[in-house]
């Protein structure tokens, strides 16, 4: 056969195959089911932003919302392999992790320690392409950079860790060292140990970095922690705007809409290649400061937008 004809025929076949595969790629994601740990609040804000962003995308996969209560009432949620499950919050993540789901799961608004604990307890979840996360925690480099920029003359940073976060100690020390700081760590196993450990820690710390751990930072403990640090003149760096409002000096955090935006972007890429990315920290973030606390402690802080700009220029290279 004429070689020219062969080349033309091969080109036509390749083009036909490419065109044939395009609709399959777009239709690869049958739908997205979002499981909320609770109704309303930050969970709903994440879901709303995710749904609005996907509605404007090219693929526009159908999005279904259910709550953890609904999931418990039905005793099971079965999603076929062509779908994607999104667990919003630790409760939803734990519930889905216990099920033998054929569909991949993206977990959002979950502490890094809680996610890693779930994967350790469920070995079948070890494939990050099928069980991944957007952490609630900011990268350590970003958090220590905020401390360095707001308190340039202070180097000793105290960190309280509980059972869910104890294994983070080596990474915290390494990140603090890379930022030119020293992380002093106290670990507790029970809530009754909290205040004694906090007082020991504050005696050797020039700042306190809050790490999401339900034993340490919860509704029943936050007021005592803030009052104790304030009396010791040690500024607390929180992990949410509510902590800044309550009395933390500053915090770098991601609001629910920012997490929802990042989740939607991951879902759009997943629709094309059918692979979730490895677990990752928040990409989009904000900085909050408490001017009243700063004045009381004698600190002069940059504007929030200036601080955020400084942090955005930092290159994170964290596992």
Q: What band does 233 get if pLDDT is binned at 50, 70 and 90?
A: very high
197 close to 161: Cβ distance less than 8 angstroms: no
Cα gap 298→210, rounded to integer Å: 21
Cα gap 142→310, rounded to integer Å: 10
- The whole-model pTM stands at 0.82
| pLDDT tens digits along 181-229 | 999 999 999 999 999 999 999 999 999 999 989 899 998 999 999 999 9
| pLDDT tens digits along 14-59 | 433 343 333 333 345 889 999 999 999 999 999 999 999 999 987 7
- Better pLDDT: 235 or 124: 235
Q: What band does 74 get if pLDDT is binned at 50, 70 and 90?
A: low
pLDDT (0 to 100) of residue 72: 67
pLDDT (0 to 100) of residue 4: 46
Cα gap 102→33, rounded to integer Å: 13
- Better pLDDT: 189 or 125: 189
**CATH 3.40.50.2300 domain locations along the chain:** 26-136+257-273, 140-253+285-312
Give the Å distances, CA to CA, from 253 to 10, 45, 61, 148, 207: 54, 15, 29, 16, 18
pLDDT (0 to 100) of residue 58: 79
* CATH number listed for the domain at residues 26-136+257-273: 3.40.50.2300
Under CATH, domain 140-253+285-312 is a member of which superfamily?
Answer: Response regulator (3.40.50.2300)
Cα gap 308→68, rounded to integer Å: 35
First to last CA, the chain: 56
């Amino acid at each position: 056969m004429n070689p020219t004809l062969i080349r033309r025929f091969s080109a036509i076949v390749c083009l036909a195959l490419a065109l044939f595969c395009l609709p399959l790629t777009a239709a690869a994601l049958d739908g997205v089911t979002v499981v909320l740990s609770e109704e309303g609040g930050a969970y709903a804000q994440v879901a709303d932003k995710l749904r609005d962003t996907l509605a404007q995308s090219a693929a526009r996969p159908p999005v279904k919302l259910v709550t953890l209560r609904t999931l418990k009432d039905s005793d099971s949620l079965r999603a076929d392999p062509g779908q994607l499950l999104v667990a919003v919050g630790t409760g939803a993540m734990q519930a889905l992790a216990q099920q033998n789901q054929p569909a991949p799961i993206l977990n959002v608004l979950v502490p890094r320690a809680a996610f890693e604990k779930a994967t350790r307890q469920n070995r079948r979840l070890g494939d990050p392409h099928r069980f991944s996360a957007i952490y609630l925690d900011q990268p350590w480099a970003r958090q220590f950079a905020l401390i360095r920029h707001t308190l340039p003359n202070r180097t000793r940073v105290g960190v309280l860790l509980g059972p869910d976060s104890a294994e983070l100690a080596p990474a915290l020390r390494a990140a603090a060292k890379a930022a030119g700081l020293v992380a002093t760590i106290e670990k507790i196993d029970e809530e009754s140990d909290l205040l004694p450990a906090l007082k020991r820690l504050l005696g050797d710390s020039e700042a306190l970095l809050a790490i999401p751990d339900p034993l340490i930072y919860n509704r029943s403990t936050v007021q005592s922690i803030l009052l104790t640090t304030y009396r010791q003149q040690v500024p607390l760096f929180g992990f949410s705007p509510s902590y800044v409002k309550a009395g933390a000096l500053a915090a770098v955090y991601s609001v629910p809409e920012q997490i929802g935006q990042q989740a939607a972007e991951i879902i759009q890429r997943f629709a094309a290649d059918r692979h979730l990315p490895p677990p990752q920290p928040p990409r989009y973030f904000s900085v909050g400061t408490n001017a009243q606390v700063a004045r009381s402690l004698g600190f002069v802080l940059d504007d929030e937008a200036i601080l955020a700009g400084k942090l955005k220029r930092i290159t994170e290279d964290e596992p």
